């Protein structure tokens, strides 16, 4: 038996098919994964993402610590509420995890940050973070008492506002994309993993069941991890452990944009290796693939690029929005606009595109 979120019984009551995900018993779908996918693109849905790990970082050197720990620079968080996406690297420049960090308190000398990291990497992340904290006056506080719900889709904010206190509704109206702030014992962020507008709300576990129930009662569909995966794939968002891991640098994982090079003196973990790679040239990159024929691209299928070399699909599925199969693949840097993928012994032509297929309900390819 895996770990359970506070919503486990509710998922069963809603007819969820449960699967193991990184040691957690999570809902795969509540009937049809494809229907749930469309529901989020067209209206809104609610996901239980309580398996994700929330870590608060505080102390007089919290900022310096995170500037050492993360490839992106928390100096960019100019005021409380701002968030940024970052990789956490090892000394070889490999990705230990990807995460979101929010600035929660900007008072000089007592800055506070909140990090949200992946569920399956929780233990190694915490071990690494503690190890790296050695010389810094910093405190790490895992907030396992919090549940987390993601409400995603074009109507997500409007529908959520109808069910929460006035103060929380006001905050939801004010939040800009990629911002998050506390209101009472809730932390409300305008972030997500679907390519749609929406919210991620961290709240005490004992309030999560009632709130999830309220949302479902008001017509917001519960959405499982199956649709979460096709939604993030269409949005071109990486899945840790699949599209990148400790053997891959952010430069080969379409995450170069999240590496803050300036100031040159900021010696974040992994910087040296990334700089060397930048001068010698990165050998591979993460691209999008589109299969125009019938069939489904899957992780680990081989990609052949004529005259250039070979690569591999890291994530592949059927895109419900586009009605065809799409994938993320790591291919040689020199790859052009066409490639071929081997599906059950046969080679199929695919189009090579920027790894972002759908945003805000619209096809980009």
* Cβ at position 330, least distance to other proteins in Å: 21
The residue within the footprint of other proteins, chosen from 2, 3, 14, 32 (CB under 8 A), is: 32
The residue within the footprint of other proteins, chosen from 68, 168, 266, 298 (CB under 8 A), is: 298
The residue within the footprint of other proteins, chosen from 14, 34, 161, 365 (CB under 8 A), is: 34
Binding flag, residue 14, other proteins (CB under 8 A): no
Binding flag, residue 65, other proteins (CB under 8 A): no
Q: Which stretch binds other proteins (CB under 8 A): 39-47, 174-182, 275-283, 293-301?
A: 293-301
Q: Which stretch binds other proteins (CB under 8 A): 82-90, 91-99, 202-210, 316-324?
A: 316-324
- Cβ proximity of 6 and 207 under 8 Å: no
Residue with tokens 């209206």: 43
Which tokens hold the place of 262?
């300036």
Residue 213 or 242 having the CB closest to other proteins: 242
Phi, psi of 26 (to 5 degrees): -125, 155
Task: Give the HSE-up count for residue 73: Cα atoms under 13 Å, Cβ half-sphere.
Answer: 14
* Cβ at position 314, least distance to other proteins in Å: 17
Residue 15 or 219 having the CB closest to other proteins: 15
Q: From residue 125, how far is each of 15, 54, 99 by CA, in Å? A: 33, 11, 10
Residue 67 or 325 having the CB closest to other proteins: 325
Binding flag, residue 345, other proteins (CB under 8 A): no
Q: Which stretch binds other proteins (CB under 8 A): 27-35, 55-63, 117-125, 169-177?
A: 27-35
Q: Which stretch binds other proteins (CB under 8 A): 26-34, 62-70, 91-99, 122-130?
A: 26-34
Residue 206 or 293 having the CB closest to other proteins: 293
* Cβ at position 30, least distance to other proteins in Å: 12
Residue 33 or 220 having the CB closest to other proteins: 33
Residue 69 or 235 having the CB closest to other proteins: 235
Binding flag, residue 321, other proteins (CB under 8 A): no
Residue 24 or 30 having the CB closest to other proteins: 30
3-state SS of the chain is CCECCCCHHHHHHCCCEEEEECCEEEEEECCCHHHHHHHHHHCCEEEECCCCEEEEEECCCHHHHHHHHECCCHHHCCCCCEEEEEEEECCCCCEEEEEEEEEEECCCCCCEEEEEECCCCHHHHHHHHHHHCCCCCCEEEECCCEEEEEEECCCHHHHHHCCCCHHHHHHHHHCCCCEEEEECCEEEECCCCCCCCEEEEEEEHHHHHHHHHHHHHCCCEECCHHHHHHHHHHCCCCCECCCECCCCCHHHCCCHHHCCCCCCCCCCCCHHHHHHHHHHCCCEEEEEEEECCCCCCCCCCEEEECCCEEEEEEEEEEECCCCEEEEEEEEECCCCCEEEEEECCEEEEEEEECCCCEECCEECC
- Cβ proximity of 102 and 81 under 8 Å: yes
The residue within the footprint of other proteins, chosen from 161, 296, 308, 353 (CB under 8 A), is: 296
* Cβ at position 15, least distance to other proteins in Å: 12
Contact mark string toward other proteins, 253..292, x via CB under 8 A: ----------------------------------------
Binding flag, residue 33, other proteins (CB under 8 A): yes
Residue 249 or 325 having the CB closest to other proteins: 325
Size of the site for other proteins (CB under 8 A): 15
**Positions that interact with other proteins (CB under 8 A):** 28-29, 32-34, 226, 230, 294-296, 298, 317-318, 320, 344
């Amino acid at each position: 038996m895996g770990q359970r979120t506070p919503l486990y019984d509710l998922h069963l009551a809603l007819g969820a098919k449960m699967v193991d995900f990184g040691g957690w018993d999570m809902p795969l779908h509540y009937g049809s994964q494809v229907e749930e996918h469309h529901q989020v693109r067209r209206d809104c849905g609610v996901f239980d993402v309580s398996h994700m790990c929330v870590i608060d970082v505080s102390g007089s050197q919290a900022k310096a610590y995170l500037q050492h720990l993360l490839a992106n620079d928390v100096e960019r968080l100019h005021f409380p509420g701002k968030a940024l996406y970052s990789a956490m690297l090892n000394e070889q420049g490999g990705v230990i995890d990807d995460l979101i960090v929010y600035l929660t308190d900007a008072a000089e000398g007592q800055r506070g940050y909140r990090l949200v990291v992946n569920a399956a990497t929780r233990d190694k992340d915490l071990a690494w973070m503690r190890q790296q904290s050695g010389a810094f006056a910093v405190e790490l506080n895992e907030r396992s008492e919090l549940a987390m719900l993601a409400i995603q889709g074009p109507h997500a904010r409007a529908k959520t506002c109808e069910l929460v206190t006035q103060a929380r509704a006001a905050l939801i109206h004010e939040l800009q994309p990629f911002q998050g702030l506390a209101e009472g014992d809730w932390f409300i962020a305008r972030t997500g993993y679907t390519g749609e507008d929406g919210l991620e709300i961290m709240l005490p576990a004992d309030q999560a069941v009632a709130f999830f129930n309220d949302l479902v009662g008001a017509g917001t569909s519960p959405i499982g991890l199956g649709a979460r995966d096709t939604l993030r794939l269409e949005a071109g968002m990486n899945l840790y452990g699949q599209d990148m891991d400790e053997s891959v640098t952010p430069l080969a994982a379409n995450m170069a944009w999240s590496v803050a090079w300036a100031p040159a003196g900021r010696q974040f973990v992994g910087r040296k290796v990334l700089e060397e790679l930048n001068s010698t040239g990165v050998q591979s990159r993460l691209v999008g693939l589109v299969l125009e024929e019938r069939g489904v691209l899957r992780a680990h299928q081989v990609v052949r690029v004529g005259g250039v070399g070979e690569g591999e699909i890291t994530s592949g599925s059927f895109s419900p929005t586009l009605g065809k199969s799409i994938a993320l693949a790591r291919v040689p840097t020199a790859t052009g606009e066409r490639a071929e993928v081997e599906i059950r012994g046969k080679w199929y032509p695919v189009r090579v595109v920027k790894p972002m297929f759908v945003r805000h309900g619209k096809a980009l390819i």
